[in-house]
Amino acid sequence: MPKLEMIEGAGDGVIAAWLADRLRAALATAPEIAVTVPGGSTPFPIFDLLAKADLPWNRISVWPGDDRIVDEDHPASNVGKIRARLEPAGAHIVPLAEDAQPPHFAIAWLGMGGDGHIASLFPNTDPRTDDPHPVRRLTPDPLPPEAPFDRLSLTIPALTDSDEIVFVIRGADKRAVFDAAVKGEHDLPVARLLKAARHKVTCFC
């Protein structure tokens, strides 16, 4: 288990400022960096704040951790929403593809579902910590009714190929699932990732 820091009750502004500081630190040691970020509803207000940060966005590539297999202008597209918020700031947005070769990430920012899924690595997909593929096409089961689409997702090895991992988790139910994963009380995808992680993990809960 890597070093874990739990930060309680942080609002979007605090999280955006923390991320900006971590990006500046990474850019101080490399001419260009890559990060992976989540979809869902939680991160987009944080993206809006982060886009206003004084950062050399032209040196940052942003990869979605997962996406629905839809056109970018579809309401269910993660990359479309990420592009709309961060590309105007100057970031390079990289859509997922089945044959993509993700880089080493300075930060892997993740959310988590109430069923313990991360990215689109749902429990039914049986994600492996030794998966030889960095990207998988997957079908969640059950398919969420609000987004009944196949997905592309970074795998656990691609996500843990990072300098650090950060979670933003909202709600007592999700917090209980995360805490149980930390304690090794289940084998859901989030627990598998935490077990495989070798660097610092920060959780805004």
Give the tens place of pLDDT for each residue, 32-64: 999 999 988 899 999 999 999 999 999 999 999
Question: Beta strand 200-204 with 162-168: parallel, antiparallel or unpaired?
Answer: parallel
To which residue do tokens 């959310």 refer? 111
Buried/exposed code over 4-23 (b: 16+ C-beta within 10 A; e: otherwise): eeeeeeeebeebbebbbebb
| CATH number for the segment(s) 4-204 | 3.40.50.1360
Q: What is the pLDDT of residues 161-178, one digit of tens each?
A: 999 999 999 999 999 999
- pTM summary value: 0.95
Domain residue limits, the chain: 4-204
